[in-house]
Structure 1
Amino acid sequence: MDFLLLLPHGQRIVLEVDGSQHYTRDHGWTPDTSKYAEMMAGDRDLKLRDYEVFRFGHDELRNENAAHALLEQFLPELFQRYRVVT
């Protein structure tokens, strides 16, 4: 997991940033469905243990301005959903 947010009332949020290493082999050249399946199994395991998982693609966060805009929208919505006062 890339980031773990421990919120009030025992709420646990996992933020993942996925680059091509999560679903390819040969340094990003060949799709690898077994790596992808392993990642999905990990998500299911976390969810069964009451973690909420949110994934971002590496390309969404590559550009600093675009990443800032995305997170400015996402984080307040996330905190509103879990009723975290900011």
Structure 2
Amino acid sequence: MPALLPEVWLHWDHKTVHQRGPEALLRSRMDFLLLLPHGQRVVLEVDGSQHYTCDRGRTPDTAKYTAMVAADRDLKLREYEVFRFGHDELKLIDDVRTLLQQFLPDLFRRFRVSSN
């Protein structure tokens, strides 16, 4: 059965600690970590403009964007899958429902998670 954990720090994941030691990636926080059967790990991130801009969303900040994509690469090298959602996609409950009704079955099919 899948488990969805909110606001997980990467070093709490027993698999990462085993692979890299207890000091690995102490500052890496995930919005959500979805643990799937067979040790599959999926990171779900919700990004507002603060993830890629400065000045309260008015000016692009290439350093922030660079750090974000570098963190994604590091997670992928550690065998995590990363999926990002824009904050605006999740503003309205009807939009969220539609998005999740499409995304979750597709995600579960990809990772061969059965509904049984």
TM-score in same-fold range (> 0.5): yes
**TM-score bin, normalised by smaller chain:** over 0.9
Q: Which structure has greater helix proportion?
A: 1
1:58 to 82, 87, 94: 87
SS at match of 2:56: coil
2:66 to 31, 37, 53: 37
SS at match of 1:2: strand
Q: Which residue of 2 aligns with 1:70?
A: 99
Distance 2:76 2:114 in 1: 24
When normalised by structure 1's length, the TM-score is: 0.96
**How far did residue 82 of structure 1 move?**
0.6
**How far did residue 80 of structure 1 move?**
0.9
When normalised by structure 2's length, the TM-score is: 0.72
1:82 maps onto 2:111 in alignment: yes
Gaps of 5+ in 2: 1-29
Q: What is the RMSD computed on CA atoms of the aligned residues?
A: 0.7
| Structure ID, larger Rg | 2
* Partner AA of 2:112 in structure 1: R
